Amino acid sequence: MGHMTLVQGDLTKMEVDAIVNAANNSLLGGGGVDGAIHRAGGPAILAECREIRARQGGCPTGEAVVTTAGNMPSRFVIHTVGPVWSGHDKEAKDDLLRNCYKNSLKHAAKINLETIAFPNISTGIYHFPKERAADIAIQAVKEMLEEYKVIKEVIFVCFDNENYDLYQEKLANLSKEV
């Protein structure tokens, strides 16, 4: 079965089959990791995003779409849209965040990708609480690794120290369970 690993650093530098983008519904780019990905990958990514918009009109929250990674060392970008934390019904937000991880990996498995790197979706500009997001991410990825045998490695790429420390602790606890 595939496994989960952790690194701290810049997602755009990862040499993997796909990196996942924390995008928005428009797919037209933005700040945070989304801005970094479009800058590093170049205009080919936005061109494909525009084609997807023309076909299906953006990307609903919790869903995912796939484009080239342009000039980055990865092959594909899986763009998913996390929930904005503010507002009512926090359980619904949990479900949407869970869907981001699951749908991204479903797309990856469908095109036989083996290594996928995730940022900490929704925990920046969208203000999802980091620990709550980490629990959801790790659980969702664990379930998908059990289901999709083609996926060999999922790498959590943490940018800030707080996320890195959280994932380090949680992944260590998980490996103690088995």
Between 14 and 113, CB nearer to ligand AR6: 14
> What contacts 53, CB < 8 A, 6 or more positions away?
26, 27, 28
Amino acid making up residue 9: G
What minimum distance in Å lies between the beta carbon of 149 and ligand AR6?
27
Residue found by looking up tokens 């629990």 in the block: 135
Least distance (Å) between residue 164 CB and ligand AR6: 10
Q: Considering 17, 34, 89, 165, which one is annotated as catalytic?
A: 34
Of 31 and 146, which has the nearer Cβ to ligand AR6? 31
State in angstroms the smallest separation of the CB of 119 from ligand AR6: 4
Q: How far is the CB of 134 from ligand AR6 (least distance, A)?
A: 10
| Nearer to ligand AR6 among residue 105 and residue 159 (C-beta) | 159
**Of the two residues 1 and 43, which places its CB atom closer to ligand AR6 in the complex?**
43
Residues that bind ligand AR6 (CB under 6 A): 10-12, 22-24, 30-34, 36, 82, 119-126, 157, 159-160, 163
Which among 72, 68, 75 is positioned nearest to 49, based on CA atoms?
A: 68
Annotation marks residue 135 as catalytic: no
Instruction: List active site positions.
Output: 34
